[in-house]
Amino acid sequence: MSKIIAQQPANEKQDVTSMLHTLDEAAQHELIAYLSQFLQPRRRTLIPEVLDQRTRYLTVVLENVYQPHNASAVLRSCECFGVQDVHIIEKEYSFRPNTEIVMGASKWLTLHQYREIEGQTTQTCLNALKAKGYRLVATTLHADSIPLHELPLDQPVALCFGTEKRGLSQEAHDLADLFVKIPMSGFTQSFNISVTAALFLYDLTNRLRTSPYPWQLTAAEKQALALSWYVKAVTKGEAITQQFLQKKGLLPST
């Protein structure tokens, strides 16, 4: 029987999107089938194709990136190369994407935000990733940095990028498992962060997709992500979803 694990009291504002993950597999499948009638045929075809190329084996960490156009360009690159999760650490600067640059890419990504003002530090983020089995890779001109093409992919990778001026914090350096750089042939020693991220993601996603490693999403992850994308892609998707769940008795009526 389809069910929702947790329900909000009827007198509280209902955030439908945040409740989707509480639906069981049968309810997710039923809702996807219902929403599909409101979706353009091209989008219906494209969603499973994109899901087949999505990965959580590689993830990106942005630490205190304060220039909105740079952070937005990184998000756009993540979406284009199929990297689903981006972890954003806010220290002195709040994360504010530039809508003209990100061009809607962020709505297809899963963003995890860590705000130092709320006690969520660089250590909070990186320790959580390490506990999930990620190798923490600091992109930096460290004395021990290895070239990008030598970065091993035998373990999930969390790519860490720092601020435009100072790079990654000492805390991030201390927690890193590896230091990686892009070899330079000119006088200039570094790229802009958005260019660096794009180069890293292009190289690593290409290598991953021809590797024997389990880089693709599981069937359950694909279905959950497909559902969230359907809600976002359909005009008035949240309202339609809320009505559907209420009609099925999976969500209290307002």
Torsions phi, psi for 164 (to 5 deg): -65, -35
What letter would DSSP give residue 132? T
pTM for this prediction: 0.88
Q: Where in the chain is the domain with CATH 3.40.1280.10?
A: 55-209
Residues 212, 214, 220: CA angle, nearest 5 degrees? 150
Pick the CATH number of 55-209 from 3.50.50.60, 3.40.1280.10, 3.30.930.10, 3.90.280.10: 3.40.1280.10
Residue pair 77/101 in contact (Cβ under 8 Å)? The answer is no
Residue that is written with structure tokens 């639906």 in the block: 23
Per-residue pLDDT of the chain (254 residues; tens, 9 = 90+): 333 333 333 333 356 777 888 899 999 999 999 999 999 999 999 999 999 999 999 999 999 887 788 889 999 999 999 999 999 999 877 777 666 666 688 899 999 999 998 999 999 999 999 999 999 999 998 889 999 999 999 999 999 999 877 889 999 999 999 999 999 899 888 888 999 999 999 999 999 999 999 999 999 999 999 999 999 999 999 999 999 998 888 777 76
CB 208 within 8 A of CB 202: no
**Strand arrangement, sheet containing 178-181:** 110-115, 85-90, 58-63, 157-161, 135-139, 178-181, 146-147
Residue 182 token pair: 């892009």
Helix axes 219-233, 237-247, angle to 10 degrees: 120
| Strand ranges (E), the chain | 58-63, 85-90, 110-115, 135-139, 146-147, 157-161, 178-181
Distance CA 228, CA 106 (A): 13
